[in-house]
């Protein structure tokens, strides 16, 4: 079946993700085809899978700082920068000057000083208040790259791991679908009903809710 807008995940990044998933998924009765299909179908991610990736990235980020010391500028909302100024016990005006922040057309600010002025060479000095753009990395970039809009965020060492998790989950679901279709049907129905309960929320609210729920589960494990 041809899904509109679907672009299979392919090329060297997909091969690497497949190999890592194969290594991790050491099950003799796992069909190679299931895993290959699971990796190539990563070109489309479900809302629940995106939420799971957002929750996981917080858990597995190694805090290597690559995303803080590269040459990319950082987008920050004015309110976020004001909160940071408060946290740093300084003024908004001063922090704007020190970080070389310039207003953008959409009302946000662009911090052009690189490496990021909040990185002290070892770590982020505003970690609890780091802007949304930092919190959402690398998932936000992975989503764009899977949609063909940007290149794969290979400077982040957890990019592959996040996709590996989803590929493994999909391959195991496929296996369960074949071996125990009734149970799989039941689980899928349960998931559908859960998502229906959230139908009053908009997409961002739903994603935030699901991410928080996964975060709670991961913190309990």
Q: Which tokens belong to 179? A: 């071996």
Contact positions with ligand SF4 (CB under 6 A) in 171-200? none
Question: Is 207 a residue that touches ligand SF4 (CB under 6 A)?
Answer: no
Options 38, 51, 74, 167; binder of ligand SF4; rule CB under 6 A: 74
* 81, 129 Cβ separation under 8 angstroms: no
Is residue 138 reached through a cis peptide bond, with omega within 30 degrees of 0 on the bond before it?
Answer: yes
Q: How many other C-beta atoms are found inside a 10 Å radius of the C-beta of residue 156?
A: 22
Query: Which residue stretch of 23-31, 34-42, 60-68, 169-177 sits at the interface with ligand SF4 (rule: CB under 6 A)?
Result: 60-68
* 96, 76 Cβ separation under 8 angstroms: no
Site string for ligand SF4, 132-161 (x = CB under 6 A): --x--xx-----------------xxx---
Options 65, 83, 92, 110; binder of ligand SF4; rule CB under 6 A: 65
> CB under 8 Å to 219, separation ≥6 — which residues?
none
Options 40, 41, 66, 83; binder of ligand SF4; rule CB under 6 A: 66
What Rg do the C-alpha atoms of the chain give, in angstroms?
A: 20
For the bound state, the minimum distance from the C-beta of residue 48 to ligand SF4, rounded and expressed in Å, comes to 21
> Closest Cα to residue 214, out of 63, 61, 57, 44?
57
Contact footprint for ligand SF4 (CB under 6 A): 61-68, 74, 116, 118-119, 124, 126, 130, 134, 137-138, 156-158
């Amino acid at each position: 079946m041809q899904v509109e807008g679907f672009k299979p995940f392919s090329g060297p990044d997909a091969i690497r993700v497949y190999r890592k998933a194969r290594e991790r998924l050491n099950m003799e009765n796992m069909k190679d085809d299931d895993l290959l299909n699971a990796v190539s179908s990563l070109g489309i991610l479900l809302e629940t899978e995106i939420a799971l990736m957002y929750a996981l990235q917080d858990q597995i980020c190694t805090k290597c700082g690559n995303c803080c010391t590269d040459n990319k500028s950082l987008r920050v909302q004015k309110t976020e920068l004001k909160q940071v100024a408060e946290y740093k016990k300084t003024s908004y005006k001063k922090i704007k000057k020190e970080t070389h922040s310039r207003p953008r057309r959409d009302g946000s600010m662009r911090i052009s000083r690189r490496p990021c002025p909040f990185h002290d060479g070892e770590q982020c000095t505003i970690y609890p208040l780091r802007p949304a753009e930092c919190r959402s990395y690398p998932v936000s970039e992975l989503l764009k790259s899977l949609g063909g809009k940007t290149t794969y965020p290979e400077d982040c060492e957890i990019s592959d791991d996040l996709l590996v998790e989803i590929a493994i989950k999909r391959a195991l679901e496929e296996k369960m679908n074949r071996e125990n279709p009734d149970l799989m049907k039941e689980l899928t129905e349960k998931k559908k009903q859960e998502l229906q309960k959230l139908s009053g929320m908009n997409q961002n609210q739903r994603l935030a809710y699901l991410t928080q729920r996964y975060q709670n589960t991961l913190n309990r494990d």
